[in-house]
Structure 1
Amino acid sequence: MTPTIRVADEAGACYGVNRALDMARAATREAPAPIHTLGPLIHNPSVVAQLAAEGVGVVEDPSDQPGGTLLLRCHGVTPSQEREARATHELVLDATCPFVVRAHQAAERLTSEGYQVIVLGEKGHPEVEGTLAHAPDAVVLSGAAGLDGMSLGRKVGVVVQTTQARSCLRDLVAALVGRCVELRVIDTICEATSLRQEAAARLAGTSDVMVVIGGRNSANTTRLARICAERCPATHHIELPGELRASWFEGAARIGVTAGASTPQTQIDEVVHAIGALVGDGRGA
């Protein structure tokens, strides 16, 4: 019997990623050359390589390639990086996801109002680094366990990396209740992230094999892979169709596919087609 191949109801590139990609491609037609992004535009190496082939390179510092056009990456940059970019380039285009901007603004507002700020997220992630630049005294925690031994003030404020799981936020909030006089939580998790996580969990729970598509440097994609693996042990995180192995699907009746928020629909279609070729094409069954 040919296995079925199902794609999660919510999967693939989100609004912020599509917006950034549209801006980059429009820049190749309209903006002063050379064109670069400050850091990878999105966390998807194959898409970044494709953009490079289309004339959009990557620099890690604004001074690396002065002049021309510089796009600020989807995950955002620090205010000092943005100032340097505007001082060294003819044109600066801000491709920061609006939901990331909201997190930055929330952290800045909590700081100005006297809250001890906790950022729930991954240390070193570009989005979190940008948030910290707006709240220099904030502490980054990856989960509730980080509170152990931590001294808290009377007023504590929480903001969240946009790609975090809401269950992690609930755990942190529960651990904070009773440990401060005033607790203010600004839920800056992107709704698209939550929808993708919920849809991936549902599909993984009814699948024999799950394939998760997206960059291995993508926080939201690796989190999707973990969520799927909890419900479907035969979960495989890939970036490109060539990584697929026929042995993964032996004996499987139901194959599920999902993709991170930095994965364009074309990439999903290519992987689904490749899986179909390996198993005899059970799409739509």
Structure 2
Amino acid sequence: MQIKKAAVQGFCFGVAITVKKAEEAIAGGANVTSLGNVVHNPQMVQSLANRGLKNASSVDEVDSGALFVRAHGLPLEVFESAKEKGLNVIDATCPMVTKIHVQAEKLKADGYKIIVVGDPHHPEVKGTLSHVPGAWCIETVEDVARLPRASRVGVVVQSTYSGRRFAEIVKALTSKYYEVRAINTICTDTHNRQTEAMQLSKEVEVVVVVGGKTSANTKHLAELAEMNGARAFHIEGPDELRAQWFEGVERAGLMSGASTPGWLLDSVAQRMEELSRQLA
């Protein structure tokens, strides 16, 4: 079985920056706590925890030391609470996420009613909404029909959202509102991976996508691969691979989400090769 790897793999630059900052923060044994997992990858989260990075669900649980802001960012009120408590804030928000905040604020200053497209429960979206109080948040094209009327709407989108779905939503918004200013804030890395998922899935029979089960961008990659005719399997590590997935398969594709370290992808590739030899 031939295994074809995606050209874009491993950490995106935003996650790479965040992980590096986290490793530097805990290197000296400092008291550092993150609100939620630093990245959506269980192996990387465990690695950082083993080296001393703590995890909390609320800033109320952090009484001293440093508060680490993960790649997704945090709502403004959390930054304010941390400041009031005298915590040292290490801000590792992805630059692409910060760009969304800036774009949303500018649209609001220009008089647009803001619509944020994305998962309202995702930490990135929660952070974006805190920058534009009163904004509407929608997740699907069906949500457009339920929005109130407005004369001018400005739109930004979660950085890891599906490009295809965003285009559908913008089209629906354009049909409903007189003026729509939509800014595609899907990050370049997400766009490139989604494009590659569509291309790779046309060249192979099976696509294995490696990434955390809670990773939005990884889920979208698996969805795109299936939409384009390949069987797709979303896994977190090599132990989840099953030989029957590759029975009779001549070409298999391998790609990863933005929070997946390169070494993990290599271990999955090695296991796929072992299974291929067993089936030969």
Answer yes or no: same fold by TM over 0.5: yes
Query: Which among 23, 26, 30 is matched to residue 25 of structure 1?
Result: 23
SS in 2 for 1:205: helix
Is the 8 Å Cα contact of residues 69 and 89 (structure 1) preserved in structure 2? no
SS in 2 for 1:256: strand
C-alpha deviation, 1:109, in angstroms: 2.2
Query: Which among 194, 201, 206 is matched to residue 204 of structure 1?
Result: 201
Is the 8 Å Cα contact of residues 202 and 230 (structure 2) preserved in structure 1? no
Query: Which among 186, 190, 197 is matched to residue 187 of structure 2?
Result: 190
- Per mean C-alpha deviation after superposition, the further-off stretch among 65-74 and 267-276 is 65-74
SS in 2 for 1:252: coil
- Number of corresponding residues: 279
- Equivalent-residue separation in structure 2 for 1:98 and 1:160 (angstroms): 15
Query: Which among 47, 55, 74 is matched to residue 50 of structure 1?
Result: 47
Aligned runs of 1:198-237 on 2, under 5 Å?
Answer: 198-237=195-234
Determine the structure 2 residue equivalent to 1:7.
5
Is the 8 Å Cα contact of residues 211 and 259 (structure 2) preserved in structure 1? yes
Is the 8 Å Cα contact of residues 210 and 232 (structure 1) preserved in structure 2? no
Determine the structure 2 residue equivalent to 1:145.
142
C-alpha deviation, 1:150, in angstroms: 2.7
SS in 2 for 1:187: coil
Which amino acid is the alignment partner of residue 49 of structure 1? Q
C-alpha deviation, 1:187, in angstroms: 1.5
Determine the structure 1 residue equivalent to 2:156.
159
- Percentage of matched positions with identical amino acids: 37
Is the 8 Å Cα contact of residues 116 and 152 (structure 1) preserved in structure 2? no
- Equivalent-residue separation in structure 1 for 2:236 and 2:275 (angstroms): 17
Which string of whole-angstrom CA distances, capped at 9 and with x for unpartnered residues, describes residues 8-27 of structure 1?
11123101100000001111
1:243 aligns with 2:240: yes
1:172 aligns with 2:172: no
TM-score, scaled to structure 2: 0.94
Which amino acid is the alignment partner of residue 97 of structure 2? V
Query: Relative contact order (alpha carbons < 8 A, sep ≥ 6): 1 or 2 greater?
Result: 1
Query: Which among 119, 122, 125 is matched to residue 122 of structure 2?
Result: 125
Determine the structure 1 residue equivalent to 2:57.
60
C-alpha deviation, 1:188, in angstroms: 0.8
RMSD of aligned Cα (Å): 1.7
Which string of whole-angstrom CA distances, capped at 9 and with x for unpartnered residues, describes residues 111-163 of structure 1?
23321111111121111111111112111112322111432211110001001
1:270 aligns with 2:267: yes
Which amino acid is the alignment partner of residue 39 of structure 2? I
Query: Which among 34, 37, 44 is matched to residue 37 of structure 1?
Result: 34
Distance 1:89 1:59, change over 3 A: farther
TM-score, scaled to structure 1: 0.93
- Equivalent-residue separation in structure 1 for 2:128 and 2:139 (angstroms): 15
SS in 2 for 1:204: helix
C-alpha deviation, 1:43, in angstroms: 1.1
1:92 aligns with 2:89: yes
C-alpha deviation, 1:89, in angstroms: 5.0
C-alpha deviation, 1:240, in angstroms: 1.1
- Equivalent-residue separation in structure 1 for 2:59 and 2:146 (angstroms): 39
Determine the structure 1 residue equivalent to 2:101.
104
C-alpha deviation, 1:65, in angstroms: 2.8
